[in-house]
């Protein structure tokens, strides 16, 4: 009886761990070899080289663009400190709701604007570099899920997404090849 219980628990935990590492793939259009792409992955240069090399081997035209060329929201303006600054003011008031709402609206406007700034930067990527697709990729160790996503820069539409739980036999090259095969289907 005890054995059955232990086995059941092991199977259950095993199933749970599998459930957290679900693979996901969905696509709208195929990104065929020959397409002009920018591949952005936030990894050391030697890994970036491997990723780009795999794309070049499959005849993609890879534009020279680096993740570090892009700024992040935190580099631009440290908006998250704004609230702290606001609260540090000596406001001896019971009713802070009005002020809080104004501060929240600052954040909201900032986020609306931030999304616009990113889109304008991506538009430059299309017009100045002649890029068709932006490919975002994050490769992770075994037991974790690597993910990738492609955006058609002509209409800013997400055209392909995949979450790939790495297998025992996988290497960096095989994971990248898997992604390339998946997006070009």
Return the number of the residue (46 or 95) whose C-beta is nearest another protein.
Answer: 95
Nearer to another protein, 57 or 80 (CB): 80
CB-nearer residue toward another protein: 25 or 47: 25
Give the Cβ contact number of residue 164 at 10 Å: 20
Smallest distance from another protein to CB 153, Å: 9
Q: How far apart are CA 128 and CA 130, in angstroms?
A: 6
Shortest CB 37 distance to another protein, Å = 14
Binding site for another protein (CB under 8 A): 19, 22, 24-28, 40-42, 67, 72-74, 80, 89, 91-95, 97-99, 101-109, 111-116, 118-120, 122-123, 134, 136, 138, 145, 147, 149, 151, 155-158, 161-163
Minimum Å gap between C-beta 63 and another protein is: 16
Smallest distance from the beta carbon of 2 to another protein, in angstroms? Answer: 26
The CA–CA distances, whole Å, from 79 to 17, 72, 100, 114, 181 equal 37, 12, 15, 11, 40
CA 95 to chain CA centroid, nearest Å: 40
DSSP-based three-state secondary structure for 64:
coil
In this structure, what DSSP letter does residue 18 have?
H
Which lies closer to another protein via its Cβ, residue 11 or residue 109?
109
Tell how far CA 128 is from the center of its chain.
Answer: 23
């Amino acid at each position: 009886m005890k054995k059955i219980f232990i086995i059941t628990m092991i199977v259950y935990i095993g199933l749970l761990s599998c459930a957290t590492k679900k693979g996901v793939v969905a696509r709208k259009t195929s990104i065929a070899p020959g397409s002009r792409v920018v591949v952005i992955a936030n990894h050391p240069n030697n890994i970036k080289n491997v990723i780009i090399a795999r794309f070049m081997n499959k005849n993609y035209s890879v534009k020279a663009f680096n993740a570090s060329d892009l700024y992040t929201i935190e580099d631009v303006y440290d908006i998250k400190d704004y609230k702290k600054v606001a609260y540090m003011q000596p406001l001896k008031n019971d009713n802070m709701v009005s002020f809080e709402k104004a501060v929240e609206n600052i954040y909201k406007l900032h986020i609306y604007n931030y999304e616009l700034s990113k889109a304008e930067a991506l538009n430059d990527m299309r017009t100045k570099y002649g890029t068709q697709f932006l490919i975002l990729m994050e490769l992770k160790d075994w037991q974790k899920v690597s993910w990738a996503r492609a955006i058609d820069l002509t209409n800013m539409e997400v055209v392909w997404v995949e979450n790939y739980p790495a297998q025992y036999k996988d290497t960096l090259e095989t994971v990248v090849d898997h992604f390339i095969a998946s997006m070009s289907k």
